[in-house]
Amino acid sequence: MSRLIGRRLFAGLALAAMMSLPAVAQTAAKPDPQNTLYLDTSYGRVVIALRPDLAPKHVERLKTLAREGFYNNVPFHRVIDGFMAQTGDGQFGNGTGGSKYPNLPAEFSKTPFVRGTVGMARSSSPDSANSQFFICLGEASFLNGQYTVVGQVVSGMEFVDKIKKGSKEQNGSVPNPDRIVKMLVASDAK
């Protein structure tokens, strides 16, 4: 009797495992190259899966600016250990600039800010995001619903972790900061 129960249990577990294969394969699927950014650092490549389903206008802005070469050689001007690495000021490089395009209206969602989440930086006005963005180095739930989520790092977080950190006294401002070597849309990569 115990052998029969054991065989049935084994058969049931095997069937359950086989039924879950498509879900596992789905999570390992390669991101859509039209909505994937390659952010090259001096440490290695960071791959970001963009979320046009959450923030279509912000995603389009990042892709437009990447295609224009706007982000190439732009510094990570504000990096706070355990919190985030901010970049994207291709105008001044210090966090006060933007792009030639107008600011974007907020596209807030319920998607949480966790390690690897990419969000748009902004001023105190919710509708002030332009070109700057940040990558969360850790969980940052206090940002939930207050900043636009544009994507998620799917590989290369170990390179984001290596980006030079700023001082607490300077609110994360980084002297002689690391820079984006190049950023491009994956479908444009050769």
Specify whether 153 is located in the same domain as 107. yes
Give the CB-side neighbour count of residue 147, counting CA atoms within 13 A.
25
Let me know whether 85 and 7 are in one domain: no
Average pLDDT over residues 102-118: 98
pLDDT in tens, 141-180: 999 999 999 999 999 999 999 999 998 788 899 999 999 9
Q: Are 46 and 157 in contact (CB under 8 A)?
A: yes
| 40 & 20 share domain | no
Shared-domain flag, residues 21 and 79: no
**Whether residue 27 has pLDDT greater than 80:** no
Q: Is residue 83 domain-shared with residue 2, that is, in the same domain?
A: no
How confident is the model over 83-96, as a mean pLDDT?
A: 97
* Residue 96: φ, ψ to 5°: -105, -5
pLDDT grade, residue 29 (50/70/90)?
Answer: low
Query: What is the C-alpha separation between 98 and 78, in angstroms, rounded?
Result: 15
Kindly report the average pLDDT of the chain as a whole number.
88
Residue 38 CA, chain-centre distance (Å), reads 11
Helix (H, G, I), strand (E, B) or coil at 141: helix
Residues 26 and 36 in one domain: no
Tokens standing for residue 51: 């979320």
Which amino acid, one-letter code, is at 110? K
**115 shares a domain with 22:** no
CB contact set of 126 (below 8 Å; sequence gap of 6+): 106, 108, 146
10 has a pLDDT exceeding 60:
no
Residue 11, both tokens? 């058969």
Is there a single domain that holds both residue 64 and residue 127?
A: yes
Q: What is the CATH number of the domain that holds 171?
A: 2.40.100.10
Residue 118: give the domain boundaries.
31-188
pLDDT for residue 88: 98
Report how many domains make up the chain: 2
- 84: pLDDT confidence band, cut at 50, 70 and 90? very high
User: Please, which residues bridge with residue 104 across strands?
Assistant: 129
User: Do 19 and 93 have their domain in common?
Assistant: no
Nearest-angstrom CA–CA distance, 136 and 174: 16
Do 6 and 86 reside in the same domain of the chain? no
Beta strands of 22-157 (E only): which ranges?
36-40, 45-50, 78-80, 84-87, 117-120, 133-136, 149-155
Same structural domain for residues 16 and 40?
no
Sign of CA dihedral 176, 81, 43, 180: negative
DSSP conformation class of 75: B
Domain co-membership, 11 together with 38: no
Instruction: Say whether pLDDT at 1 is over 60.
Output: no
pLDDT category of residue 7 using cuts at 50, 70 and 90: very low
What are the counts of helices (DSSP H) followed by strands (DSSP E) for the chain?
A: 3, 8
